[in-house]
Amino acid sequence: MKPTLVILAAGMGSRYGSLKQVDGLGPNDETIIDYSVFDAMRAGFKKVVFVIRKHIEKEFREVFSGRFRGKVDFELVFQELDMLPEGFTCPPEREKPWGTAHAVWVARNKVKEPFAVINADDFYGQEAFESMAKALSDPPPRESNYFLAGYRLGNTLSDQGHVSRAICTTDEKGYLESIVERTKIGRENKSVFYINESGEKVPADEDSLVSMNFWGFTPDFFNRSGEIFDAFLKGNINKAASEFFIPLVVDKLIKKREATCRVIPTQAGWFGVTYPGDKPVVKQKLLQLVKEGRYPSPLWQ
């Protein structure tokens, strides 16, 4: 059974300043999504499910429908603030999306097979897709056996400002023991640090493995995350800045011994667009990959 790729493309892009999901960055205006889907298809994924906001559907279809026609089997699902479990009502003042784990949960009716999850605005590299496709299909994993592509922290920072990363701790066999989301990580005087809840700078090891939100799950993840989402909402529904992150779900399941998650270290090059200043850097990197023959140009010939 070939896996499905779920792409989280509902982010608001407040720091970037525009709709980065459809921003042309490749030599022929290819988006980062184009490269991710291209890598996924040649690695063995069978279809793509995009999680978007309803208000960007028209623009999203205009960009991708023609490119993917006859080449990629894809579907759209929507992540809206009022899409909550039975018994919960979204506060009227809520503006912020509920987070990455909520984005995965809303795709539950479209995915029945092992699946991977990625961000729309991150370039993960061909090697990472090949490793994840193999983990999810050769042979298919048992229920609650999850996977995570692990990247070196020092290779995932932006010169433009702070980034959010989930820092991983693994056992001697490479299985995830804990994962902690750090929302303000940066580099200063060649040292890496994060800013904690008290506003203090805490040193971080740049060789640490971090999650770039490239996960592999079995379909039971939908029900398990839904149960945890219920508990999350009971304590956080009226907190305007609260977010339901994938690492929170995985960490809880691991600690309760209800799931395992093997971290797959990857040497694949990662880059992404968080700030406007990232754009020229990403464009140059994509152009270099094309010049090296890693990708055709135009991509969807």
Task: Quote the pLDDT of residue 14.
Answer: 40
Task: Quote the pLDDT of residue 113.
Answer: 97
Indicate the pairing of strand 260-265 with strand 145-152. Answer: parallel
**Residue of 20 and 180 predicted with greater confidence:** 180
Task: Quote the pLDDT of residue 19.
Answer: 58
Task: Quote the pLDDT of residue 179.
Answer: 86
Checking if the pLDDT of 296 tops 90, the result is: yes
Handedness of CA 161, 166, 170, 174 (dihedral sign): negative
- Whether pTM exceeds 0.75: yes
Supply φ then ψ for residue 191, to 5 degrees. -110, 145
The predicted-structure confidence for 36-68, as pLDDT tens digits, reads as follows 999 999 999 999 999 999 988 998 899 999 999
What is the spatial distance between Cα 27 and Cα 235, in angstroms, rounded to a whole number?
A: 47
Task: Quote the pLDDT of residue 206.
Answer: 87
- Mean model confidence pLDDT for the chain: 91
**Residue of 175 and 206 predicted with greater confidence:** 175
Q: Report the candidate in 81, 95, 93, 124 with the shortest Cα–Cα distance to residue 216.
A: 124
The predicted-structure confidence for 178-211, as pLDDT tens digits, reads as follows 888 887 899 888 889 888 888 899 999 988 999 9
The percentage of the chain sitting over the pLDDT mark of 90, rounded to a whole number, equals: 70
Question: CA-based angle 42:140:224, to the nearest 5?
Answer: 110
The predicted-structure confidence for 216-240, as pLDDT tens digits, reads as follows 999 999 999 999 999 999 999 999 9
CA dihedral 275→279→285→290, nearest 10 degrees, is 140
Beta bridge partners of 201: 195
Which of these CATH numbers, 3.40.50.920, 1.10.10.10, 3.90.550.10, 1.25.40.10, describes 4-291? 3.90.550.10
Residues 107-136: what's their mean pLDDT?
96
- For the beta carbon of residue 105, count every other beta carbon within 10 angstroms: 25
Task: Quote the pLDDT of residue 20.
Answer: 62
How close are the terminal C-alpha atoms of the chain, in Å? Answer: 27
What is the spatial distance between Cα 4 and Cα 115, in angstroms, rounded to a whole number?
A: 5
CA dihedral 284→285→291→294, nearest 10 degrees, is -160
Residue 188 CB partners (closer than 8 Å, separation 6+): 201
Residue 197 CB partners (closer than 8 Å, separation 6+): none
pLDDT band at 18 (very low <50, low <70, confident <90, very high): very low
Task: Quote the pLDDT of residue 15.
Answer: 39
Residues 92-117: what's their mean pLDDT?
96
Place of tokens 């939908």: 222
The predicted-structure confidence for 61-98, as pLDDT tens digits, reads as follows 999 999 999 999 999 999 999 999 999 999 999 998 99
In the structure encoding, which two tokens stand for residue 12, read together?
Answer: 């608001």
Residue 141 CB partners (closer than 8 Å, separation 6+): 114, 135, 147, 216, 218
Task: Quote the pLDDT of residue 17.
Answer: 37
Task: Quote the pLDDT of residue 166.
Answer: 85
What residue spans define the domains of the chain? 4-291
Residues 264-275: what's their mean pLDDT?
84
